[in-house]
Structure 1
Amino acid sequence: MNRASLQDEQSGSSSVTVHSERPSDFNEHNSPSPTPVAPALLSWDGPDDAGNPRNWAKRRRWTVTLVVSLFTFISPVASSISSPSLPAISAHFNIPPGSILESMSLSIFVLAYAIGPLFWGPLSELYGRLIILQSSNLFFLLFNTACAFSKNVTQLLVFRFLAGLGGAAPQSVGGAVVGDLWAPEECGSAMAVYSLAPLVGPATGPLVGGWIAEKSRWQWVFWSVSIADAVLQVVAFLTIRETYGPEILRRRMRKMRKAGPDTEKAKDMIIVPSAHQSIGEVMFRGLVRPFVFLVTEPIVQVFALYMAVLYGLLYLTLVHFVDVYTDQYGETDGIAGMHYLSIALGSTVGGQIGARALNYLYRVLKAKNNGVGTPEMRLPLLMATATTLPIGLLIYGWSVQAHAHWIVPDIGVFIFSIGIGGNWTCIQTYLVDSYAIFAASAIAGVTSFRAFAGFGFPLFQDKLYGCLGDGWGNSLLALICLAIGCPAPFIFYRYGPVLREKGKGGAK
């Protein structure tokens, strides 16, 4: 009888540690046995199998982790790098300044983030991580370059969307690669490095783009990203290998089958259950299940709405900075771009320090609960970080309204960005703990929903601040964050277990 301990498809783990002994196909007279033989499971050759990515040399694993993190970094950079050049782009294509079309030329890239992960994630289960990362990056590189050669605004919008579609793959596959490479007890440091990319990338783009807008033509905001990405692609070709355990084993099986009669036993071998799922089944699961969670799970619904507000505010701020520091403070594009450091630093502090504080609080609360941990132990930190958003928005809005020294709005944005980084860390960990093997679907639902907000919020920023001004406009946004974000962790801390139990239908 063959027994296997196979990779959980949601965890991204490569820890397949099976050994199978196939019953003899022949009787003592060397004739075929009439007894049907169960197919064997091809598996790692013990816990020290060199083919298992978790057994690679640590230097090699860190190299792959860093390259994949750079893939995840460069896409958000491309999403926002053109924001300082929006006036020049609008002038070139005769787009009315401050119009929805002008904002859409920036945010349509993020719209693809709502769609891409629903396809790239399931495809990586079928064909492995490597081909998805490499092909999607080439897709991103092609259409990001094409943006600079657009002849009209329609072409620019289409090319930006397609570039975002390619750039969405690392957002959905990169975390799984980290899980493939590192065991849970050593994954923390690698995931901390990886998680920096999507937080810092959106703020780094305008920082670089400001100097490009000041010193060169708008086309260079696209060419510069493409040049950096092309170099990264070459490095990736040289350093990245397949990390997805089932795909590595499938390749091993195919190699055995081609080797000849000596490997006849490989004919009846199978790899994992997912190897027998059709592409239609895998894609249907990847596309539908996240939306089932959004419809049936109250916890996912509330946090999806909250993260949508946070992500929308982030991209709204990226666009609004251009007006604040160039028009109101009279700074050049390059100097104005330096203010985006406040977003990058705040997100880094919130994400990195927040992750460490989250683990510390969890250990303390678990010890007080007789060693029993619960998902709700991830929420006390969120109770604190949720308050940073309205505080930061109020400081930012009213200091700009009063034309205070530039450092004051930067402090407000820094505080606000701490909330973005810290809140996402808390929410993501809470969802993982709450939904276990279905966590990927829950997070995919939240991620897709927030991407729609990242696309939509910048479209109304001119009307918002035009009608209410910077002070009251940001006060309204602060009130929304306060109404959704501050009560949620307290409510779920008390009623989370009951809500999860009532919403189990979404997890099935």
Structure 2
Amino acid sequence: MSSDNHQSTLRGTEDIVECSQGSNQISQLPKRSTAYEKERSNFLTWEGRHDPLNPRNWSKARKWTTVIIVSLFTFNSHVISTMIAPALPYIGQDLHINTSFEQALVLSVFVAAYILGPLFWGPFSEVYGRIPVVQVSNAWLLCFNLGCGFAQNKQQILAFRFLAGVGGSAPQAIGAGLLGDLFIPEVRGRALSIYSIAPLLGPAVGPILGGYITVSTTWRWIFYSTTISCGVVQASQLLFLRESYAPVLLHRKQKMMIEHTGNTSLYTEHDHLGRSFKHTIAIALTRPFRMLATHTIVQLLAVYLAYLYGMNYLILSSFPLLWSDIYHQSIGAQSLNYLSLGIGFCLGAQISAYLQDSIYMRLKRRYVVDGGPGRPEFRAPVIIPGAIIMPVGLLIYSWTAEAHTHWVGPNIGAAIYAAGAIISFQAVRGYLVDAYTTYAASAIGAATILQSIAGFGFPLFAPSMYKTLGFGKGGTLLAVCAIVIGWPSPLLLWIFGERLRARSLLEA
């Protein structure tokens, strides 16, 4: 019997008891009340605020250890995605990859795999649990990333890079859902802020490391070194990570209680006993597509995340053109400029961490009575400072580059842009996690489809745009897009978000 059927039975029992009249009520009440109590006694859930099995009752040390390890996996994946950027000419020379487009494809094909991976990593984590999927996907990344280091031709490195990206895409879908497992909404903002640094900081740090490794040794050591870091992450996962997904944990508790008591009538709110395993897997794997096809709020936020993510990779792809062709810096000096993005991301993350939790609590006190749950729309105001800062940073970056000012000028603009981008990025992801806590992995996976398409596609047209329009006009065009897309978004989300969510129905 499913949880919905159980709840219907309970409601039906209550209605019969309430509607019974006269002597008939007296004779029937004890039996129905006993059945009702028996039904209730078979329902398994968390045992209050101190249940040690509930991940939200874990110690702070255990929670933050989990956050840090999963963040390291995410960071490692995104470092790998861009670390080869300074080495592309050397890779092209050794593997006979002659055109700039094909070299750019070696870089961005890793991100193209982010389109595919979350579509099954996320749903599998909602069937088998978070930790098995995290461990398998990291091992997958390790193996195929090592294969890139041994590649002997163009076909091999493109294939291995794509397959490595499939493994590296798992944290894109699972990470935010895992944080939803561990933290209540009132304190989730800080955890999301720390975790969300990884997908934006990684691409900034990667080229710095890649530049110095390329100069010091060979481009193959980029892959060897990152494979070693994958091994370190894998070891930490095996030692310290524990399952956090509530339906899986409650199912384990159910099996243990059945074995101990022999009571096969025990059930949880997540049971779907009328479903076959094949049907359960099919529903899980199609859930991200159904969300993207039918949930208007997911569609809109997916477009916004795609814009933010694509812009990040576009700015990253413009760095080699700027620092090599315009400022004529060496590879080592070029890579240091990526620090400006890293500084901006870290600064923005700290601002976002404070704003998300403080604004959420303030709005909850103002709009929610009797201590009820908050609303995902309480994340919307945090988007505002990010949306304002982004175009300012883009204009400073672009026009100082156009004017060939001191190299500090474009770096200041890049840092301001990065701070605004991560503030908005974290707020939108926080909204999705709040709106789809149990199925947050599928919601993030659905958004990642468009996000990854943008991350793959934007760098491919960036060089042509800057060469045609110049840095000044090209950056102004991007700033105008940032204003048109970014400024109305938080207001529309605040006004229409709840109604759009109410229109969305999902088969669990």
With structure 1 as the length reference, what TM-score do the two structures score? 0.82
Amino acid at match of 1:110: V
The alignment covers a number of residue pairs equal to 471
Question: Which residue in 2 is equivalent to 1:154?
Answer: 155
Distance of 1:235 and 1:265 partners within structure 2:
37
Secondary structure at the aligned position of 1:488 is classed as helix
Question: Which residue in 2 is equivalent to 1:96?
Answer: 98
Q: After the TM superposition, which of the residue ranges 137-146 and 430-439 deviates more from structure 2?
A: 430-439
Distance of 1:470 and 1:338 partners within structure 2:
20
Question: Which residue in 1 is equivalent to 2:397?
Answer: 396
Determine if the alignment matches structure 1 residue 265 to structure 2 residue 262: yes
Secondary structure at the aligned position of 2:126 is classed as helix
Contact 2:308 2:425 in 1 (8 A): no
Distance change >3 Å, CA 291–CA 126, structure 1 → 2: closer
How big is the shift at 1:457? 0.9
Question: Which residue in 2 is equivalent to 1:85?
Answer: 87
How big is the shift at 1:499? 4.6
Correspondence 1:116-155 to 2 at 5 A: 116-155=117-156
Contact 1:199 1:348 in 2 (8 A): no
Higher helix share: 2
How big is the shift at 1:265? 0.5
How big is the shift at 1:292? 3.6
Distance change >3 Å, CA 249–CA 273, structure 1 → 2: closer
Q: After the TM superposition, which of the residue ranges 247-256 and 102-111 deviates more from structure 2?
A: 247-256
Distance of 1:310 and 1:488 partners within structure 2:
13
Secondary structure at the aligned position of 2:329 is classed as coil
Amino acid at match of 2:484: A
Distance change >3 Å, CA 442–CA 248, structure 1 → 2: closer
How big is the shift at 1:114? 1.9
How big is the shift at 1:291? 3.4
Contact 1:104 1:458 in 2 (8 A): no
Distance change >3 Å, CA 481–CA 124, structure 1 → 2: same
Secondary structure at the aligned position of 1:330 is classed as coil
Distance of 2:486 and 2:459 partners within structure 1:
21
Distance of 1:159 and 1:429 partners within structure 2:
33
Correspondence 1:46-65 to 2 at 5 A: 48-65=50-67
Q: After the TM superposition, which of the residue ranges 473-482 and 145-154 deviates more from structure 2?
A: 473-482
How big is the shift at 1:106? 0.9
Question: Which residue in 1 is equivalent to 2:312?
Answer: 314
Determine if the alignment matches structure 1 residue 290 to structure 2 residue 288: yes
Distance change >3 Å, CA 228–CA 369, structure 1 → 2: closer
Q: After the TM superposition, which of the residue ranges 323-332 and 157-166 deviates more from structure 2?
A: 323-332
Amino acid at match of 2:94: H
Distance change >3 Å, CA 394–CA 281, structure 1 → 2: farther
Q: Which runs of 5+ in 1 are unaligned?
A: 7-36
Contact 1:349 1:421 in 2 (8 A): no
How big is the shift at 1:56? 4.5
Deviations along 1:282-314, whole A, 9 cap, x unmatched? 444344343344344444333322321221121
Correspondence 1:60-71 to 2 at 5 A: 60-71=62-73
Contact 2:399 2:471 in 1 (8 A): yes
Distance of 2:452 and 2:498 partners within structure 1:
28
How big is the shift at 1:41? 5.1
Q: Which runs of 5+ in 2 are unaligned?
A: 7-37
With structure 2 as the length reference, what TM-score do the two structures score? 0.82
Distance of 2:126 and 2:283 partners within structure 1:
11
Distance change >3 Å, CA 309–CA 88, structure 1 → 2: same
Amino acid at match of 2:123: P
Contact 2:131 2:242 in 1 (8 A): yes
Percent sequence identity is: 41
Distance of 1:199 and 1:115 partners within structure 2:
20
Distance of 2:376 and 2:62 partners within structure 1:
34
Amino acid at match of 2:240: T
Distance of 2:460 and 2:349 partners within structure 1:
27
Contact 1:397 1:475 in 2 (8 A): yes
Secondary structure at the aligned position of 1:273 is classed as coil
Determine if the alignment matches structure 1 residue 106 to structure 2 residue 107: yes
Amino acid at match of 1:285: I
How big is the shift at 1:432? 4.4
How big is the shift at 1:55? 4.6
Correspondence 1:188-337 to 2 at 5 A: 188-251=189-252, 263=260, 265=262, 269-270=266-267, 273-274=270-271, 276=273, 277-337=275-335
Question: Which residue in 2 is equivalent to 1:469?
Answer: 470
Question: Which residue in 2 is equivalent to 1:357?
Answer: 355
Secondary structure at the aligned position of 1:127 is classed as coil
Amino acid at match of 1:76: H
